[in-house]
């Protein structure tokens, strides 16, 4: 296990280098540059000022040179300076990462709390009314994009039922936990529920397959209670494919937070990322992409580690 873990950590280095290089090149291949946003029409009338800004930001050098310099800053855990605020990107992301992490954790908990129990009950009550309702709910959640649900709640439920729109401005969790949860519960519910349909379907399919195995029939023949058979004997093996889907859901949370935070004006990384792309604030976009890639890579590693816990026969060497 230890050798496998070290090998995976070493292999993360070329993966991260490839991701960062692609993002770096793609950002610099976009039409226009930061001077267009900063100077507007005045930039065309003053090419000297435009060149001075590009030199000050280090954008007058070749892309490989810029990339190597940026990697040197990353090695020192320095994400650079924002083109627009003039503040360190580390400082800009510090509070926003806490907000987005809270929203992501809440969404993941809601996703699992909805998806796994409904999937299990649908499997052990196959073809019942609950199973039909669960499958219908899963298909509905898969078909409805989270941004559409958010806008629908704001325009319809918020108007007629007075609960779809947060009633207060954002407050940090440690400042006022109650107000914070009132503000974030609806966005987290939308973000988590939108992916729970996949968890429901995978859990149901995996449970149905496991419940047909010989060792489950042996457990039934011993006269064990249904709860013992399902939880102790079937659930662990059924969760192996579900854990894989959970690992794939984490990038969805990262991408979904960009839209949800923008719709609900949540001051997190997703909203900051969206505004930085529009402004071509390259250091911020590069830093957030790097953090997102790290989250995805470590999530996949955590999923692989969870396999050996769920099934002791799985060994890594």
Q: Is the dihedral of CA 41, 44, 47, 50 positive or negative?
A: positive
pLDDT tens readout for residues 255-304: 778 888 888 888 888 888 888 888 788 888 888 888 888 888 888 888 77
Q: For residue 39, what pLDDT is reported?
A: 66
Per-residue model confidence (pLDDT) at position 261? 84
> What's the pLDDT score for residue 186?
85
51 CB neighbour count, 10 Å cutoff: 13
pLDDT digits (tens, 9 = 90+) for 177-212: 888 888 888 888 888 888 888 888 888 888 888 888
263/257 Cα distance (integer angstroms): 10
Q: For residue 283, what are the contacts with CB-CB under 8 A and spacing of at least 6?
A: 79, 80, 81, 82, 83, 89
- The list of the chain residues with pLDDT below 70 reads 1, 32-33, 36-46, 158-168, 310-317
Q: What residues form DSSP beta bridges with 88?
A: 81
For 127, residues 6+ apart whose C-beta sits below 8 A from its C-beta are none
Q: Tell me the CATH number for domain 91-310.
A: 1.10.3720.10
Domain boundaries, the chain: 2-75, 91-310
pLDDT at 40: 62
pLDDT number for residue 162:
63
Q: Which residues pair with 95 in a beta bridge?
A: none
pLDDT at 46: 66
Instruction: Give a three-class secondary structure readout of the chain.
Output: CHHHHHHHHHHHHHHHHHHHHHHHHHHHCCCCCHHHHHHCCHHHHCHHHHHHHHHHHCCCCCHHHHHHHHHHHHHCCCCCECCCCCCEHHHHHHHHHHHHHHHHHHHHHHHHHHHHHHHHHHHHCCCCHHHHHHHHHHHHHHHCCHHHHHHHHHHHHHHHCCCCCCCCCCCCCCCCHHHHHHHHHHHHHHHHHHHHHHHHHHHHHHHHHHHCCHHHHHHHHCCCCHHHHHHHHHHHHHHHHHHHHHHHHHHHHHHHHHHHHHHCCCCCHHHHHHHHHHHCCHHHHHHHHHHHHHHHHHHHHHHHHHHHHHCCCCCCC
């Amino acid at each position: 296990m230890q050798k496998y873990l070290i090998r995976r950590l070493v292999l993360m280095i070329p993966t991260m280098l490839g991701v960062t290089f692609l993002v770096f090149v793609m950002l610099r291949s976009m039409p226009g540059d930061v001077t267009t946003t900063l100077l507007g029409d005045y930039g065309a009338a003053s090419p000297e000022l435009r060149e001075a800004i590009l030199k000050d930001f280090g954008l007058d050098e070749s892309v490989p040179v810029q990339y190597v310099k940026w990697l040197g800053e990353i090695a020192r855990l320095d994400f650079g300076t924002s083109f627009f605020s003039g503040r360190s990107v580390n400082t800009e992301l510090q509070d926003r990462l806490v907000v987005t992490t809270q929203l992501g954790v809440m969404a993941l908990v809601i996703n699992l709390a909805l998806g796994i129990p409904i999937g299990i009950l649908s499997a052990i009550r196959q073809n019942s009314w609950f199973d039909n309702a669960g499958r219908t709910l899963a298909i509905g959640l898969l078909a409805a994009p989270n941004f559409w649900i958010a806008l629908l709640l704001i325009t319809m439920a918020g108007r007629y039922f007075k609960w779809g729109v947060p009633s207060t401005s954002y407050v940090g969790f440690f400042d006022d936990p109650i107000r914070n949860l009132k503000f974030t519960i609806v966005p987290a519910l939308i973000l988590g529920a939108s992916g729970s349909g996949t968890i429901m379907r995978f859990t149901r399919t995996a449970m149905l397959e496991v419940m047909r195995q010989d060792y489950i029939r042996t457990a039934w023949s011993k006269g064990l209670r249904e709860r013992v058979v399902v939880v102790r004997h079937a659930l662990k093996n059924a969760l192996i494919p579900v854990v894989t889907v959970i690992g794939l859901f984490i990038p969805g949370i990262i991408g979904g937070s960009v839209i949800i935070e923008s719709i609900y004006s949540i001051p997190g990384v997703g909203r900051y990322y969206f505004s930085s792309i529009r402004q071509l604030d390259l250091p911020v976009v590069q830093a957030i992409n790097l953090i997102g890639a790290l989250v995805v890579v470590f999530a996949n590693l955590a999923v692989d580690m969870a396999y050996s816990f769920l099934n002791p026969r799985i060994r890594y060497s």
